[in-house]
Structure 1
Amino acid sequence: MRRLSFVLLATILFLGKAVADEGMWLPSLIHKLNITEMQQMGLQLSAEDIYSINNSSLKDAVVALDRGSCTAELISGNGLLLTNHHCGYGEIQSHSSVENDYLQYGFWANSYEEELPNPGKSVTFLVRIEDVTDKVLAEVTDDMSEEERRRKTYSTIRELESEAKGDTHYETYVRNFFNSNQYHLFVTETFKDIRMVGTPPNALGKFGGDTDNWMWPRHTADFMLFRVYSGPDGKPADYSEDNIPYQPNYFLPISLQGINEGDFAMVMGYPGGTNRYKTSYGVQYTMDVTNPVRVEVREEKLRIIDDYMASGQKARIQYASKYARSSNYYKYSIGQNRGLENLNIIEKKKNLEDEFTRWVNASSERREKYGNVLDNIAGFYNNIEANRAQEYMAEAMVRGPEIFMFAYRALPMYRLLGDKDFNPDFLEMAKSRITDGIDAFYKDYHAKTDRKVAAALMKLYADNVDPKYHPAFFQEVQKRYKGDFDRYTERMFKRSVFNDKEELMDFLENPKLKTLEKDMAFQAASDIFEKFRELNDLAGENSELLDVGNRLFVAGLMEMQQDKKFYPDANSTMRLTYGQVLDYEPRDGVIYKYYTTTDGYLEKEIPGDDEFHVPERMKELLYSRDFGRYANDDGELVACFITNNDITGGNSGSPVINANGELIGIAFDGNWEAMSSDIAFEPDLQRCINVDIRFVLWVIDKYAGATHLINEMMIVE
């Protein structure tokens, strides 16, 4: 018989359940919707402690990294920022070289002066949220066409954003929720001087690699540190040596008290996107089109990149970040289809739609308003040929080879050079469009590898997509090269200035129209993007059916289930989820414990393996078991733990916070058994995988010797 902790048993007896409260909730609304239940589960804070516009609160310590690609949290009064290793992987890679391989050996700044700037990196703080639904929809009527509705809401939204911004440096934007049934205004503040402070080596921060990705049990020190800098006045400023470490309104205290089964846990962050209200028709499309296309294309691309990365250290550094970005959602798509099938999600969606239909048909008024909703949605998915071509084009041609996207930057220059009376100032602007970021592009670019990717993915596109959706240059490939894309790309790369930095810079010294007219990569890119626009138009022809259908379907569900607390889909705005530290049973006869220890590093070790190599220093420290104050009551160093919080992509790097508002971990992954969670929440299986904050501190302190960073933090023993 399994032993339940006293805390967990008490929770079950009190609430009658031990499951997460499904939902990614707006923090501005928890005082109405959630705070009572959260406090019953053990929370010791008030709603005002979590979200306040008049006083400092937890929201002031949680930021959107790079506009929401990840989340991060402040952990000191000097702007020290904690997030996932994989969230800063691009910066680690960009700073790495054969001479300074921070990917392999890690990096730790010993002073402010040693911290590394990252052009383009940003963090965004939430200032406030306002429900503006009534204002946005004030002049919208049911007899408006969808286009009239769109124009009216757009106009009102622009006015509200402008009014909220005033003469401040803040950013303002309105987001729609519940498929355009509700609207909220967000006021934010963005800082752009973000410097890299410290990162463990790949062998810790990426331990387990693709094999362990999306899996539990886990043993990964998935964290790194940045620092936010402000101008001397404390406001956002571009990078300058005169900038100072940011002094935040609030930062998170860190708890060393550890975790026990049944403990309250909440996650705050910026989840990117979910589709919980997607119908069975949409789920079927995801399973039949979106995921298979993504898997097929990326599998081929990853194979080619992997071959190049195995050729040496320089190649590994060049393509490390590109490989990681592509492989993450390659495996995700495989797991999502598996989860949707195993959990019978389409059937569950159909059951809800049947219930909705019966409810609609029970009233003539409801039939008039909602009677065509599901038929309209189904109609959008009746002819998916163009949509499938669009998916292949996006994966195989637009996001596949790098040369096409880069060469397409020259389109404004091409148009200018074709005009005899062009303004020379405009030409300089067109040049800067090409040269912006050119050094970074070619630093991590290998033309021979990209040529192989281009050849393989163009063939894949040709084999899977109806010829009427092929870009124009495919006809030349068929006629002159007998369909041999390998021969075609060999010639294309030889006859292009875009595969080599020096050739491109020579061209830009004295650009000629004839050069671009003969440049095969530029001409191919032009054909690709012309066809992509055409496919987007075709795929969007019936989008109004889908937009109206989805909006009215959600409106009808909310009307049908008036006693239910509805939460909006994620859309890269700040959310809060709450739940507990819990184990789970992934299948019959198997129980996964709620935490792992660093013993797993030694047990999983494969010397010299890219994914499971353990550095000698790490082994020495683990064998010595010098865990100090970071050990649990049994003398173990907890590596990772799981909670049943509701998270998704964008939550990576989110703080996991205990009942007292203290940091206990960093969210970094979901589990394989619940990969369907973006579409359907599964309370019995869904788990959020977190790195334990005590493991993070131990790595900083004992492994890296960066005790000066530990001294910045507020640590609760």
Structure 2
Amino acid sequence: MKRRNLLLSAILFPAVMAFAQQYGGMWIPTELNEKEMKDLGMKISAKQIFDPSKPSIKDAVVQFNGGCTAEIISPQGLLLTNHHCGYGQIQKHSSVENDYLSDGFWAKNQNGELPNPGVTVDFIADIKEVTNEVLAGTQNLDAKAAQELISKNLETVKAGFKLESWQKVAIKPMYYGNKYYAYIIETYKDIRLVGAPPQSIGKFGSDTDNWVWPRHTGDFSMFRIYADKDNKPAEYSKDNIPYKPKYFLPVSIKDKQENDFTFVFGFPGRTTEYLPAIAVEKIMTETDPAMISVREVALKTLDEKMRTDAETRIKYASKYASVANYWKKWIGEVEGLKKSDAVSKKKNYEQNLIAKNAQIKPTIDELNRLYTEQAPYNLNKAYYSEVLRNAETLTLANFYYNFVKAVESGKMDAKTAENFKARLAAIYKDYDAVLDAKVTAKLLALYANKTPKQFLPAGFEQYKDENQNLKTIEELSKNSVMTGRGALNGATTYSDLNKVFADQNALVQNLKKDPLMKLFSKLREHYIATTDAKVTSYQQQIDALQKKFMAQQMETDKDRKFFPDANSTLRVTYGQVKGSNPRDAVYYGYQTHIAGIMEKYIPGDYEFDVPKKLIQLYNAKDYGIYKDKTGDVPVNFTATNHTTGGNSGSPALDAYGNLVGLNFDRQWEGTMSDINYDPRFSRNIMVDTKYILFVIDKYADAKWLINEMKIVK
């Protein structure tokens, strides 16, 4: 694919920049690092961000459908989140006649907004630390007894909260169980689709640009919260009315400057910032490379067919993107850990801690021993899990294997059977047995060649040759229940899974004789016998020691202000608008524009096509109030905010708490920030509010939505 990158130029730029920001951080909003935030330029107070007693910014931030983040941007409950967060709902409302994925969707008024049964948003009404109550009485107990008492204490603490009928409480461990926090949650259940750009805007760049900067993606969609007449949560009803929020975010269209303060408010998923050096080293040199190598083989095999066959390309597009997503992320993570010298940095930090507190040395020594002894088992787990996930023939075998076990143990009730059928149907829908035979043959060869003999079933060395594997799998598939008895001519799905499951006992007997099932069973049972329990046993010891190590770090390093790792709870992260210098003589500017979209434009391409109307607006330079000082409309920008999965859709706010962007990705060179945040390389990527409003106003002609908002000019 030939296209020009925007702002990729060799210019004079220091290889190492000086940053006031050191550790990043995903801060509990009741425990913000307010001093550093103000040193970096914040003009509001921490209380204005989170105050349970009166309206504050937290009342405009919600967890969207259990995974992403969204924010309220009008006094009528208008929600903004990412296009990829709302993608499932946009897809469900789409049809051949109304292809909202390709064409976009914009309600003409509130009556045209579309309901989404099952979609929820969660507000956090309050956060309370409950460490003393949860850990009461556990001080002198062994790990097992302590955990049993903690479980009992958790139920007691939960029961002690006085809640409204529409509230619930969730208690989450922080700092590896050294602290606990209670979250009072209010869930709204009537969420309606308001608007979404076509995927040629919302997914512009798709897989090629994923994790990459420069970026030109309008990754946003819009929903609205509805409530009952008392503004309380309610199931969908035509009588419900738009929710009246306690607080909504003003939307700024002011120009951005490098070093402007920003903060991101949302629900980041998972980070591991406090691992010992040995753990980071194993991730960087063993488990990540193993997982990368498996996906590399799978992706290459799929790509060869997808490039020459349009039907396969369409069938496998979503699947390929899913596999490529973390493959690309792990490659960036390894490169970033090496470039930021993460292992040496961790080792030096550990030695500094030991110099201050000699009791930390036995902890580090024991962690080193445990990780070293766990390593071969963990590496085998990485290979096995990825082979199983990416060879769909083995994925199917795993499903059927679990089905057999459930039937034989008496756990296969009607509901469980329906779930099995639904999940199998989803796999068969886009399953090509001929193509996957090639993937499976290659991945079995990789596994047989990479895995030490102790982890291979007897006789498994025969699978070291991928060409022979393909012949074997094709032969086994001809008589396999799973691939449809001789269905390698392309008829790889059952027309009616209900018939297959009608006689469960007969199916079980057929599966037990199935040649592919025998192959998989041999592989799985040897893995369980040699690896699974070992990984778990070591991990339990590591987790207990990590809790101790975390406590020792916090007790010893008095100069460092600690934040807990992300765990899908509400957090604040902050930084400054900045470009980056990821490699020698390469500098990326902090902002992209519509001109960059046109530089990447490839007519008819599924990733880089551009809607005709957007081209017209570009040619006419019909930008209205949304252009910046360059005369163009800014599309995306980067900053040093410490984000991760779950921050998708999070509001990016300026020094005064105005919405300036919508978080949707990270820069590839800084994806190691889940493990080791480094302000030199870690960049989050956001959609500029100017572009969002430009698309709503000029492209979609949905000015009625603009009129709801408070625009800061």
**Both proteins in one fold, TM over 0.5:** yes
Q: Contact 2:94–2:101 (CA<8 Å) still a contact in 1?
A: yes
Query: Residue 251 of structure 2 corresponds to which residue in structure 1?
Result: 254
One-letter code aligned to 1:352 = Y
One-letter code aligned to 1:461 = Y
Q: Contact 2:484–2:493 (CA<8 Å) still a contact in 1?
A: no
Q: Decide whether aligned partners of structure 1 residues 668 and 418 sit closer, same or farther in structure 2, where only a CA change above 3 A counts.
A: closer
Name the SS for the 1:272 alignment partner.
Answer: coil
Q: Aligned match of 1:359 in 353, 356, 359? A: 356
Name the SS for the 1:175 alignment partner.
Answer: strand
Query: Residue 7 of structure 2 corresponds to which residue in structure 1?
Result: none
Tell me the CA shift for residue 99 of structure 1: 5.2
One-letter code aligned to 2:447 = Y
Query: Residue 221 of structure 1 corresponds to which residue in structure 2?
Result: 218
Q: Decide whether aligned partners of structure 1 residues 501 and 163 sit closer, same or farther in structure 2, where only a CA change above 3 A counts.
A: farther
Deviates more, 1:108-117 or 1:643-652: 108-117
One-letter code aligned to 1:390 = K
Q: Aligned match of 2:675 in 674, 679, 682? A: 679
One-letter code aligned to 2:376 = E
Query: Residue 462 of structure 1 corresponds to which residue in structure 2?
Result: 448
Query: Residue 9 of structure 2 corresponds to which residue in structure 1?
Result: none
Give the Cα–Cα distance (whole angstroms) in 2 for the partners of residues 559 and 165 of structure 1: 34
Query: Residue 44 of structure 1 corresponds to which residue in structure 2?
Result: 43
Tell me the CA shift for residue 558 of structure 1: 1.6
Q: Contact 2:55–2:246 (CA<8 Å) still a contact in 1?
A: yes
Give the Cα–Cα distance (whole angstroms) in 2 for the partners of residues 66 and 461 of structure 1: 37
Tell me the CA shift for residue 550 of structure 1: 1.3
One-letter code aligned to 1:288 = T
Stretches of structure 2 that go unaligned for 5 or more consecutive residues are: 1-17
Tell me the CA shift for residue 250 of structure 1: 2.3
Q: For each residue in 1:162-221, what CA deviation from the matched residue of structure 2 results, as whole angstroms up to 9, or x when unmatched?
A: 333757343322222222221111222233443433322232222233333223222221
Query: Residue 3 of structure 1 corresponds to which residue in structure 2?
Result: none
Q: Contact 2:297–2:443 (CA<8 Å) still a contact in 1?
A: yes
Give the Cα–Cα distance (whole angstroms) in 2 for the partners of residues 247 and 435 of structure 1: 42
Q: Contact 1:379–1:545 (CA<8 Å) still a contact in 2?
A: no
Give the Cα–Cα distance (whole angstroms) in 2 for the partners of residues 244 and 448 of structure 1: 52
Q: Aligned match of 2:129 in 128, 131, 134? A: 131
Q: Aligned match of 1:488 in 453, 476, 491? A: 476
Name the SS for the 1:25 alignment partner.
Answer: coil
Query: Residue 71 of structure 2 corresponds to which residue in structure 1?
Result: 73
Name the SS for the 1:541 alignment partner.
Answer: helix
Tell me the CA shift for residue 445 of structure 1: 5.1
Give the Cα–Cα distance (whole angstroms) in 2 for the partners of residues 227 and 445 of structure 1: 36
Query: Residue 629 of structure 1 corresponds to which residue in structure 2?
Result: 625
Name the SS for the 2:75 alignment partner.
Answer: coil
Q: Decide whether aligned partners of structure 1 residues 57 and 491 sit closer, same or farther in structure 2, where only a CA change above 3 A counts.
A: farther
Q: Aligned match of 2:666 in 647, 666, 670? A: 670
Name the SS for the 2:275 alignment partner.
Answer: coil
Query: Residue 697 of structure 1 corresponds to which residue in structure 2?
Result: 693
Q: Aligned match of 1:374 in 346, 349, 364? A: 364
Query: Residue 11 of structure 2 corresponds to which residue in structure 1?
Result: none
One-letter code aligned to 2:416 = A
Query: Residue 516 of structure 1 corresponds to which residue in structure 2?
Result: 508
Query: Residue 27 of structure 2 corresponds to which residue in structure 1?
Result: 25
Deviates more, 1:95-104 or 1:280-289: 95-104
Mapping for residues 144-183 of structure 1, pairs under 5 Å:
144-164=141-161, 168-183=165-180
Tell me the CA shift for residue 310 of structure 1: 5.2
Q: Decide whether aligned partners of structure 1 residues 657 and 107 sit closer, same or farther in structure 2, where only a CA change above 3 A counts.
A: same
Tell me the CA shift for residue 376 of structure 1: 1.6
Give the Cα–Cα distance (whole angstroms) in 1 for the partners of residues 304 and 88 of structure 2: 20
Give the Cα–Cα distance (whole angstroms) in 1 for the partners of residues 309 and 589 of structure 2: 39
Mapping for residues 380-395 of structure 1, pairs under 5 Å:
380-383=370-373, 384-395=375-386
Q: Decide whether aligned partners of structure 1 residues 679 and 17 sit closer, same or farther in structure 2, where only a CA change above 3 A counts.
A: closer
Q: Decide whether aligned partners of structure 1 residues 267 and 472 sit closer, same or farther in structure 2, where only a CA change above 3 A counts.
A: farther
Tell me the CA shift for residue 244 of structure 1: 4.3
Name the SS for the 1:67 alignment partner.
Answer: coil
Query: Residue 414 of structure 2 corresponds to which residue in structure 1?
Result: 428
Q: Contact 1:20–1:646 (CA<8 Å) still a contact in 2?
A: no
One-letter code aligned to 1:617 = K
Q: Decide whether aligned partners of structure 1 residues 25 and 712 sit closer, same or farther in structure 2, where only a CA change above 3 A counts.
A: same
Tell me the CA shift for residue 453 of structure 1: 4.2
Q: Contact 1:21–1:579 (CA<8 Å) still a contact in 2?
A: no
RMSD, aligned CA:
3.4
Deviates more, 1:647-656 or 1:199-208: 199-208
Q: Contact 1:496–1:522 (CA<8 Å) still a contact in 2?
A: no
Name the SS for the 1:82 alignment partner.
Answer: strand
Q: Aligned match of 1:194 in 172, 178, 191? A: 191
Give the Cα–Cα distance (whole angstroms) in 2 for the partners of residues 86 and 603 of structure 1: 23
Q: For each residue in 1:270-291, what CA deviation from the matched residue of structure 2 results, as whole angstroms up to 9, or x when unmatched?
A: 1111111111110111012221
Deviates more, 1:571-580 or 1:442-451: 442-451
Q: For each residue in 1:71-100, what CA deviation from the matched residue of structure 2 results, as whole angstroms up to 9, or x when unmatched?
A: 221222333221222333344445555555
Name the SS for the 1:149 alignment partner.
Answer: helix
Give the Cα–Cα distance (whole angstroms) in 2 for the partners of residues 228 and 443 of structure 1: 34
Stretches of structure 1 that go unaligned for 5 or more consecutive residues are: 1-15, 362-366
Deviates more, 1:640-649 or 1:92-101: 92-101
Query: Residue 58 of structure 2 corresponds to which residue in structure 1?
Result: 59
Query: Residue 711 of structure 2 corresponds to which residue in structure 1?
Result: 715
Q: For each residue in 1:481-505, what CA deviation from the matched residue of structure 2 results, as whole angstroms up to 9, or x when unmatched?
A: 9753343345431249995343312
Give the Cα–Cα distance (whole angstroms) in 1 for the partners of residues 661 and 153 of structure 2: 41
Report how many aligned residue pairs link the two structures.
Answer: 683
Query: Residue 12 of structure 2 corresponds to which residue in structure 1?
Result: none
Q: Contact 1:459–1:485 (CA<8 Å) still a contact in 2?
A: no
Tell me the CA shift for residue 306 of structure 1: 4.1
Q: For each residue in 1:261-308, what CA deviation from the matched residue of structure 2 results, as whole angstroms up to 9, or x when unmatched?
A: 232211101111111111111011101222112212222333344456
Mapping for residues 215-614 of structure 1, pairs under 5 Å:
215-230=212-227, 234-239=231-236, 241=238, 243-306=240-303, 318-361=315-358, 367=359, 370-383=360-373, 384-397=375-388, 399-402=389-392, 414=404, 427-436=413-422, 449-450=435-436, 452-466=438-452, 469=455, 483=469, 484-492=472-480, 493-495=483-485, 500-508=493-501, 510-519=502-511, 520=514, 534=529, 535-614=531-610
Q: Contact 2:437–2:473 (CA<8 Å) still a contact in 1?
A: no
One-letter code aligned to 2:137 = E
Give the Cα–Cα distance (whole angstroms) in 2 for the partners of residues 181 and 584 of structure 1: 36
Tell me the CA shift for residue 693 of structure 1: 0.5
Tell me the CA shift for residue 610 of structure 1: 3.3
Tell me the CA shift for residue 630 of structure 1: 0.8
Tell me the CA shift for residue 474 of structure 1: 6.8
Q: For each residue in 1:588-625, what CA deviation from the matched residue of structure 2 results, as whole angstroms up to 9, or x when unmatched?
A: 44443222221111222233333333333222211111
Give the Cα–Cα distance (whole angstroms) in 2 for the partners of residues 313 and 61 of structure 1: 44
Query: Residue 614 of structure 2 corresponds to which residue in structure 1?
Result: 618
Give the Cα–Cα distance (whole angstroms) in 2 for the partners of residues 524 and 415 of structure 1: 16
Tell me the CA shift for residue 342 of structure 1: 1.6
Q: For each residue in 1:494-538, what CA deviation from the matched residue of structure 2 results, as whole angstroms up to 9, or x when unmatched?
A: 249995343312234x32302222134777776676566553322
Tell me the CA shift for residue 121 of structure 1: 3.6
Q: Decide whether aligned partners of structure 1 residues 506 and 471 sit closer, same or farther in structure 2, where only a CA change above 3 A counts.
A: farther
Name the SS for the 2:562 alignment partner.
Answer: coil
Tell me the CA shift for residue 681 of structure 1: 1.7
Give the Cα–Cα distance (whole angstroms) in 1 for the partners of residues 230 and 518 of structure 2: 50
Tell me the CA shift for residue 334 of structure 1: 0.5
Q: Decide whether aligned partners of structure 1 residues 604 and 512 sit closer, same or farther in structure 2, where only a CA change above 3 A counts.
A: closer
Q: Contact 2:255–2:629 (CA<8 Å) still a contact in 1?
A: no
TM score, norm. by length of structure 1 = 0.86
